[in-house]
Structure 1
Amino acid sequence: MTIRKMRTELGDTQSEFAARYNIPFRTIQNWETEVRKPPEYIIELLRQRVRADLANRRTVNLPEYCPEKRTLPKRSDFIGSLSWLKAVQACLGDDIVFALDQALMCQGNFGGRSDEYSVWVYGNDAVTDYNGVIVIGNRVSPYDVESKNGFRYTNLSRTISDAFANESILDMQGVTEAVSRYYYSNNEKFDGISVAPEYQERFERLAREAIEYYKTKR
C-alpha cells in the first residue's frame, strides 16, 4: 500500500496525515511524488497504524466554523435530543451512523447539551459540508451498530472505544455519564461492556469515575 493510498483511505489531506503521525509535511509530499522513497520499515509501521486508525478512527483536530459550509439545525431550537437528531439526520442522510455523544443520545444514556455543536458520525466524507460534522470513519462493523427510532448508532462498547481514541479532543462528560447510568441500572455491574485490550486500563479509570459520578446525585 502506498503512502497516498494510506492517506486517502483515512480521508486526510497531506497536512492532516503529517500531523496525525508526526511526519514533516514536506516528507509526505516527497514520498507521494516519489521524489524520495520511504524505508520499508516505515511503510510497514504506517500500514499498521493506519489499519488501527481505520478500525478505531482517531480525529486530530475539531473542525473550525467555515462560513462557506452549510449549517445544521441548532440543538437549542428543539425540546429533546432525539427530535434534534431527526432534523440532523434529515440533512446528513439515512446512511450515517451516529457516534460518540450522538450515539449516547440515541441509546438514551446521555441527554446532550443545549449548545451542542459537534456531530460525530461514521459515513461519507461529503457530510462534512456541514459545519460541526466530524466523520470518525467511513465504515464501521455492523456488529458494533444498533438501530432504534429510525437511527443507526454505535453500541455502548464501540462508543467507549471511540471515545478513548478521540479523548484528546472530546469532552468525556457524556461517556462518563453514560457509563455511570449503565452501572447503576445494571445492578452495579459493568457486565456486557467490552473494550479493546489497549483500552482496558483506561476503562478501569473511567469505571471508577463513573461510579462516583452519580453517587453524589442519587
Structure 2
Amino acid sequence: MGLPNNYSLEVPERCLDLLTSLLPNVRQNSRQMDRYQGALTTTLTLALATPMLSLPIERIEKHLGLDEGYADDRHLAPELAKRVSEAIVNRRLSDYPAFAALDWHFLEGIPPFNMARGMPGVLARKLNTPEAATAAQEMGFQLFLRCLRNALSHGGIIYLDEHGEATAGEARMLCFVSARPERTRYICDKRDGPCPSHTPKNKDLRLLRVSEEHFQAFLHRWVAWLRDEKLRNLTAA
C-alpha cells in the first residue's frame, strides 16, 4: 500500500472507501448479527469516522494562526489551509446546507453526567425539540467540527434508539458528547517541592445528536468538502 503524502486529506479518503465497501458486508453478516444482537454498522462507522475527523482538525485546523506544530500538514497544502481558515471563521453550520440538512440537534451548558449510565430522559426530550434543531443550525461551524472531534477522540458517544433515547440494542441515532473544561487558572503555592499534577474539572457538556444514517452521509460530504478545490460547492450562495 502506498503511504499517504498528506494524512489530512488522504487518510479520510481511504477511510471513506473502506466504509463504503465494508458496510454492505457488515449489514449481511448473519454470524456477527447473531453474536452481537445486530449488525456492527455503528462500530464500523465510528471506528473509521475517528481518523476522518481527527486528522484534518488536528493537523490543519488546530494549527491555524500558530507557528508550525509537531503534527502540522499545512505546508503540504497551504492553499487548503488558507481556504479552511476562511471557511470556519464567522461561519455557522447553516452556512453549509449540505451538512446542515442532516437533521442535527444541539444542546450546550449541560451539567456533567456519567454517559455510561445512559442518556437522562430529560435531555433526550430536550434534544427532540425544535429549539435543539435550531440551536444546531446556529452553532459555529468550528464548534460543530470540534464537538465531533472531541467526542470521537475521548469516547463521548451515546447510542440512541429511533426515539433518541439510550438503548442497549442497535443504534439508530448517535449523541456526540463534548466536555467544556473550567478555564480558571491553577495556582500552586507549595514552595518546598514540585506542584502536584492538576486535572481541570469539566464545567459543562455539549450534546450533538444525529441519526446514524445521516452521520454516514455527513462523512461522505465531509470528504467531498475536504477535496473540493474551492471549498465553495457546499456553502450557501
Identify the TM-score tier after normalising by the shorter chain: under 0.3
* TM-score calculated relative to the size of structure 2: 0.26
* TM-score calculated relative to the size of structure 1: 0.28
